[in-house]
Chain A
Amino acid sequence: AQSVAQPEDQVNVAEGNPLTVKCTYSVSGNPYLFWYVQYPNRGLQFLLKYITGDNLVKGSYGFEAEFNKSQTSFHLKKPSALVSDSALYFCAVRDPKIIFGKGTRLHILP
């Protein structure tokens, strides 16, 4: 079965610094990978996806993710964090139903 793992429950980053939220995957065949963000008491917002093509995927709000097949990773990155980026981030894989990682809470410190 397909799965994703988010090894960090929480990540703290100072505003203006680069941020990384980690995700590793376990799939058979070609992975369809996603990142979603959730703000308090809200649904999920789509950030970006990797289906095929360039390993560096650019998404919403300045986020990007790098698909690394050898390391089976799909880490979410942003060059300069904003306080408004503080939220819960989910990595996901399509199985074909979408299976979510446990989530990583990102705190951007002013």
Chain B
Amino acid sequence: GAVVSQHPSRVICKSGTSVKIECRSLDFQATTMFWYRQFPKKSLMLMATSNEGSKATYEQGVEKDKFLINHASLTLSTLTVTSAHPEDSSFYICSALTGGSYEQYFGPGTRLTVT
């Protein structure tokens, strides 16, 4: 089946620094990728939708200048958390969608801890 990877799986950074999370589709081309955030024991909250070569569409309440999303190729999307603060600590999950498919393939997630 389709595989989506995320790197890193865990990251600890200091407050005020930026951190980049990569999401890759390993064996298929992802026309659309999604970024979700999950708080402890909570559901997944969609942050943004990105299509290859175009600007990401952010959900209401998500700061686009803080959570920079780039989808430069059909197999790679990146999420950069800029000037991270402790409240940004969370589990970030990406998913990928192929053209015409109903099924999203999810990455294993990245645990971000901001100290």
Contact of A44 among B46, B106, B111 (CB under 8 A): B106
Contact of B103 among A49, A97, A100 (CB under 8 A): A49
Asked if A43 and B102 sit within 8 Å, CB to CB, the answer is: no
Asked if B102 and A32 sit within 8 Å, CB to CB, the answer is: yes
* Complex contacts, A45 vs chain B, CB 8 Å: 106
Beta-carbon nearest neighbor of B44 in chain A: A100
Bound state CA distance, A41 and B46, in angstroms? 18
* Chain A positions 41-76 with a Cβ under 8 Å from a chain B Cβ: 41-46, 49, 51
**Chain A residue total in the interface (Cβ 8 A):** 21
**Chain B residue total in the interface (Cβ 8 A):** 21
Interface string of B41-61 (1 = CB under 8 A from A): 111101001000000000000
Asked if B103 and A46 sit within 8 Å, CB to CB, the answer is: yes
Contact of A43 among B43, B49, B103, B106 (CB under 8 A): B106
* Complex contacts, A97 vs chain B, CB 8 Å: 34, 46, 49
B42 CB → nearest A CB, Å = 7
Interface residues of B (CB under 8 A from A): 4, 6, 34, 41-44, 46, 49, 91, 93, 95, 102-109, 111
Interface residues of A (CB under 8 A from B): 32, 34, 36, 41-46, 49, 51, 90, 94, 97-103, 105
